[in-house]
């Protein structure tokens, strides 16, 4: 079972509503309070996909890859928001966050097809 923490944690920064730091999912309380149930399930599913990615790769390797890909994409694109959205981990999570059955069909290291 995921360990979901809802509150106003410093780790979320000013603009982040959710973050996954294995084995926890941190969600901003003020954001969660405004969500409809379906959107909350999608957000938790999105963050759960990151938990799976981190478990598959190892937490340290996941964050090294994440940071390197973000930096390379930022240099190539010139926009941090667009670079973030094009990170393979984020692409997998955003594309499948609404599919609550995704884990039933997801293959090992599925994020690679989003590179």
Alpha-carbon span 9 to 111, nearest angstrom: 28
CA 37 remoteness from chain centre:
19
CA-CA-CA-CA torsion sign (56, 57, 58, 63): negative
For residue 2, pLDDT over 70 is answered with no
Please count the structural domains in the chain.
Answer: 1
The answer to whether residue 35 scores a pLDDT higher than 80 is yes
pLDDT in tens, 48-76: 999 999 999 999 999 999 999 999 999 99
Contacts 24+ apart (CB under 8 A), 108-112: 108/56, 109/56, 109/57, 111/53, 112/88
Domain range holding 56? 3-114
């Amino acid at each position: 079972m995921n360990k979901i923490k809802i509150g106003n944690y410093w780790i979320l920064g000013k603009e982040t509503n959710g973050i996954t730091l294995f084995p926890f999912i941190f969600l901003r309380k003020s954001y969660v309070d405004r969500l409809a149930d379906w959107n909350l399930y999608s957000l938790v599913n999105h963050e759960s996909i990151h938990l799976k990615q981190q478990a598959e790769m190892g937490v340290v390797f996941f964050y090294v890859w994440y940071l390197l890909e973000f930096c390379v994409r930022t240099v190539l694109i010139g926009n941090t928001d667009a670079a973030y959205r094009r990170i393979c981990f984020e692409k997998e999570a955003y594309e499948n966050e609404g599919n609550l059955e995704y884990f039933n069909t997801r293959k090992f290291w599925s994020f690679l097809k989003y590179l």
